[in-house]
Structure 1
Amino acid sequence: MADNNKRDKMTLEEAGRKGGEETARTHDKEFYQEIGRKGGEATSENHDRDFYEEIGRKGGEATSENHGKDFYEKIGRKGGEATSENHDRDFYEEIGRKGGEATSENHDRGFYEDIGEKGGNARAKQRENDNK
């Protein structure tokens, strides 16, 4: 008799799968959007910036371990194309201005001298190659 009870019991995995299938069958997109919104709000209320930095770092590490250069080139291209389709020149001017301000706040004169020298060297090398 004990064997019959064991066979009739569903594992937690099976119960979860069946429950998920039933929920998917009986609920629409808006249901999932609403529970996602509520979950996001609850998470943001219960966690600080360090939490998000940590999960972002872990996610980035896991992604880089599983994907190569081609993956990043592909998603970068897709993201750039999507952004350019949805934004105009003013958008790019604004993010450029903000990026320049943030950079100037975080770096000193030596940083700019260094990148200027590197850029000059790269340009000179390119001219050399073009003249060959």
Structure 2
Amino acid sequence: MPFYLEIIICICLLIGGIFLLIGSYGLARLPDIYMRLHAPTKASTLGITGVLVASMVYQSHLKGAFSVQELLITLFLLITAPVAANMIAKTALHYRTKALDRTHGQELMETIRDRESPKPPSES
């Protein structure tokens, strides 16, 4: 394997590992669910992306052709992680999970809880 590919793979693995470590630390240390949503959805998504890009470069070199599997996994994670975080936040709002006093946007939580569902165009 050429030295430049080893360097690219190592850099991607290091960046991915750092983001995964930051995401794990944030998940363990942040105090409430609304703050905890940011760590796994942002940092961990970038971390997994770094690891999968390194795997994609390695597998592409081994096969001699572009490796599509890692790219598809990365795209799936980039699409599903924000959707999952949104569903977790909606569930926390629905169950009226209390946020800490220092959590920003507390006034928006009541507005979101009390809003009505949009009416279909035929009922307007």
Interval of TM-score (by shorter of Structure 1 and Structure 2): under 0.3
Q: Provide the TM-score with structure 1 as the length reference.
A: 0.24
More helix by percentage: 1
Structure ID, larger Rg: 1
Q: Using CA pairs below 8 Å that are at least 6 residues apart, which structure has the higher relative contact order? A: 2
Q: Provide the TM-score with structure 2 as the length reference.
A: 0.25
